[in-house]
Homo-oligomer: A and B are copies of this chain.
Amino acid sequence: MELLSSTKSHGGWLKRYRHESLSVKGEMTFAIYLPPQAETQSVPVLYWLSGLTCTDENFMQKAGAFRKAAELGLAIVCPDTSPRGTDYPNERESYDFGSGAGFYVNATVAPYANTYHMYDYVVQELPHLVEANFPVTDKRSVSGHSMGGHGALICALKNPGKYQSVSAFAPIVNPTNCPWGEKAFTGYLGEDKATWNEWDATYLVENLVESLGESAERLPLFIDQGEADNFLVEQLKPEALEAACEKVGHPITLRRQPGYDHSYFFISSFIDEHLEHHSKALG
């Protein structure tokens, strides 16, 4: 790991690193905020998965999360949103596919199948790296925004016991059934829509018992959604996840926030409550 920068904030330290990733077969950059408590003890970690076009920096600069993280003694890790070292056809031509838009899946279609394994990176490699190199415990939570909200939900639902809690801001809850998801999944997973389902939070909730057995953990979902979000009706569709949860009795708190849009001004307004939610679960 190569340290790129180290910046003091709220008594803790924001550090950015570059490292060679096995999952994506290339260099990746991530950021970690270590609260003041990490100087004398191990702290639990919240993984934050960002949305389309973002890097490791957006959340760290705009969410206003460090004050509460420093108070709670919570580390925050932000990965990038896609591999960056390749130059595939169309990889950089649109904001919602390819570079900056990895969608936290393991791609199976050439050429993306070679490197776009953001799911493995986020769920396996990055926690392993973080837990081996920083003063953190093996208690993890996961949250994210939009495409990253989708990522947080699928990471938690597919890995019972791995995360103590999950939350999301304006997540893409049903990517198999919206333009962003259909474009990305076609490009990363191919035309066979049956292969898409395992990456869809709404499908996963509905089929949790089928895939994981009767004893499947039902981790409560905590979601904030702005009612003035431009992407609400066409892309985000929280009612699909809400209906699936109701159908199978999966616990969900879906808060519709009047007047709020899709921006980090929305996230910063409610991030403290999400951090408290995770801190409580992390113990």
> A residues engaging B (CB < 8 A)?
7-11, 14, 61-62, 64, 66-67, 226, 228, 259-261, 263-266, 268-269, 272
Contact = CB atoms under 8 A, between A and B. Distances in A.
Nearest to A63: B64
A266 B269 CA distance: 20
A8 B261 CA distance: 7
A47 to B, nearest CB: 20
A14 B268 CA distance: 13
A10 B261 contact: no
Given A62-B61, A64-B67, A265 B11 contact: no
Nearest to A270: B10
A7 B64 contact: no
A260 B14 CA distance: 11
Nearest to A257: B8
A64 B259 CA distance: 20
Contacts of A260: 8
26 contacts: A7-B261, A7-B263, A7-B265, A8-B226, A8-B228, A8-B259, A8-B260, A8-B261, A8-B269, A9-B265, A9-B269, A10-B268, A10-B269, A11-B269, A14-B265, A61-B61, A64-B64, A64-B66, A64-B67, A64-B268, A66-B265, A66-B268, A66-B269, A67-B67, A67-B268, A67-B272
